[in-house]
Structure 1
Amino acid sequence: MDKILRVASENGVVIFSKTTCCLSYAVNVLFHELRVDPVVYEIDQDPEGREMEKALLRMRCNSPAVPAVFISGKLVGSTNEVMSLHLSGSLIPLLKPYQSQVYHSS
């Protein structure tokens, strides 16, 4: 849990993901379209990944562990929460400090 909170607090926008998670990929694509370059932390590539996944499950009340999206060090939620915020117009104000004026997609 400490590692999750440290990574989330040291970076503006973080997506905790697994390399095979298509929903994490979809959230990442959305953020790129909104000119935000999130840190994508692949927990299945970390030796402590299983512990991180358990901690994310506890934080999210047994919702799927990934994607877990943090903005400004705060847990926003998963794909459903991010998309709901986006559709309601509440996501962009949260992301504004992290948007690039000139964004080059790769």
Structure 2
Amino acid sequence: MKLASEKGVVIFSKSSCCLSYAVNILFKELGVHPLVYEIDQDPEGREMEKALIRLGCNAPIPAVFIAGKLVGSTNEVMSHHLSGALMPLLKPYQMS
């Protein structure tokens, strides 16, 4: 949770995961530059993945946090985006 609160938008990702890549691209296209933790390149990666599962991530990667709160994985992020609920969450973090 400490890592998830370090910046407004944090994504726990794996460098080889296409869904992680897609979520990262979505945020960049929306003008947000998230802090990305590539857990497969971190010595604590396995522990991070276990912690994400304990927090309620059904699919632990990618795990998206906005303002320190778990939004979810790809399905939840895309559902928020399609329903129009994602942009209000991201507004404070958009680059001008």
TM-score (norm: length of structure 2):
0.96
Aligned length: 96
Distance in structure 1 (CA, Å) of the matches to 2:80 and 2:59: 18
Partner residue of 1:50?
Answer: 46
Partner residue of 1:59?
Answer: 55
2:84 is equivalent to residue 89 of structure 1: yes
1:46-81 superposed Cα distances (whole Å, 9 cap, x missing partner):
1111111111112125x1210000000000000000
2:32 is equivalent to residue 19 of structure 1: no
Distance in structure 2 (CA, Å) of the matches to 1:21 and 1:59: 20
Identity %: 75
Name the amino acid aligned to 2:71: V
1:41 to 34, 37, 44: 37
Partner residue of 2:71?
Answer: 76
Ranges in structure 2 where 5+ consecutive residues have no aligned partner: none
Distance in structure 1 (CA, Å) of the matches to 2:2 and 2:54: 17
3-state DSSP class of the match of 2:64? strand
3-state DSSP class of the match of 2:50? helix
3-state DSSP class of the match of 1:41? strand
Name the amino acid aligned to 2:69: K
Q: Which has the larger radius of gyration?
A: 1
